[in-house]
């Protein structure tokens, strides 16, 4: 399968054929299995229905052969072992899997890795400045903008995306930009303070 052909998979056909989450994986697996069975054993391992994808993550280039239904979140976690990006709902409802594509915050569970082909992605690991915390990370530490830490990478990425576009957001703008990231510990008051503090740190 060529890369180009796969890139033509649009979202609707993706959902129709593969679906997302539980039902999708059930539907997908037998399909792939039957496909795999037709191939000679020796090339099954190398292909096995996989397609090539190239992404630039945190400034590094990665080329991998993946199943076409692999979400970007799965790709980042399982292929690249960048487990800072979390999957919680896998349905685009909680924001734990938020990453940057270019300068936009996106739910990586709602995007195919194939659709990120040739794109520049930043995950929480990419916000580090060598061994030092980035400004947004620093602000979340200073203001204690977290409790259990599970939603934190997504929160920080969303905050970072906001501040890239709007270096001095009002509280209302902070709420708006962060509203796609749920925090069950309810650290919201401190998350708002953290984003505000990050804005000030970035200005320096």
Can you give the binding site for other proteins, defined by CB under 8 A?
Answer: 21-22, 25-26, 28-30, 33, 77, 81-91, 93-94, 96, 123-125, 128, 133, 137-138, 140-141, 144, 146-153, 156, 174-175, 178-179, 181-192
Instruction: Provide the 10 A C-beta neighbour count for residue 41.
Output: 7
Q: Least distance (Å) from other proteins to the CB of residue 106?
A: 17
33 or 118: whose CB is closer to other proteins?
A: 33
Q: Indicate the residue among 15 and 118 with the shorter CB distance to other proteins.
A: 15
Strand 98-101, strand 104-107: pairing: antiparallel
Nearest C-alpha neighbor of 71 from the set 105, 42, 108, 96: 108
Shortest Å, Cβ 203 to other proteins? 20
Least distance (Å) from other proteins to the CB of residue 33?
Answer: 6
State the nearest-atom distance from the C-beta of 142 to other proteins, in Å: 9
Task: Name the residue nearer to other proteins (CB basis): 34 or 118.
Answer: 34
- Give me the least distance between CB of 2 and other proteins, in Å please: 24
Q: Which residues pair with 112 in a beta bridge?
A: 71
In contact, 76 and 62? CB cutoff 8 Å: no
**CB-wise, 4 or 132, nearer to other proteins?**
132
Q: Do residues 178 and 158 lie in contact, with contact meaning Cβ atoms separated by under 8 Å?
A: yes
Take residue 33 and report the two structure tokens written for it: 């299995």
- Crossing angle of helices 135-142 and 152-165, rounded to 10°: 120
Distances (CA, A) of 65 to 7, 26, 68, 74: 14, 21, 9, 13
**25 sits in which H/E element:** helix 21-37
Nearer to other proteins, 168 or 185 (CB): 185
């Amino acid at each position: 399968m060529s890369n180009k052909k796969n890139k033509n998979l649009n979202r609707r056909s993706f959902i129709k054929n593969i679906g997302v989450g539980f039902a999708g994986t059930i539907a997908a697996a037998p399909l792939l299995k039957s496909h795999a069975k037709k191939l000679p054993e020796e090339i099954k391992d190398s292909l096995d229905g996989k397609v090539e994808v190239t992404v630039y993550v945190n400034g590094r280039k990665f080329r991998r052969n993946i199943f076409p239904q692999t979400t970007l979140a799965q790709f980042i976690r399982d292929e690249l072992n960048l487990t800072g990006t979390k999957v919680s709902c896998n349905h685009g409802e909680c924001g734990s899997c938020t990453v940057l594509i270019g300068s936009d915050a996106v739910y990586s569970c709602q995007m195919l890795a194939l659709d990120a082909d040739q794109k520049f992605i930043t995950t929480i690991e990419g916000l580090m400045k060598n061994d030092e915390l980035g400004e947004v990370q620093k602000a979340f530490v200073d203001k204690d903008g977290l409790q259990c830490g599970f939603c934190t990478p997504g929160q920080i990425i969303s905050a970072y995306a906001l501040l890239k576009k709007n270096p001095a957001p009002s509280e209302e703008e902070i709420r708006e930009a962060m509203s796609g990231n749920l925090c069950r510990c309810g650290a919201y008051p401190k998350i708002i303070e953290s984003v505000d503090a990050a804005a000030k740190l970035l200005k320096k």
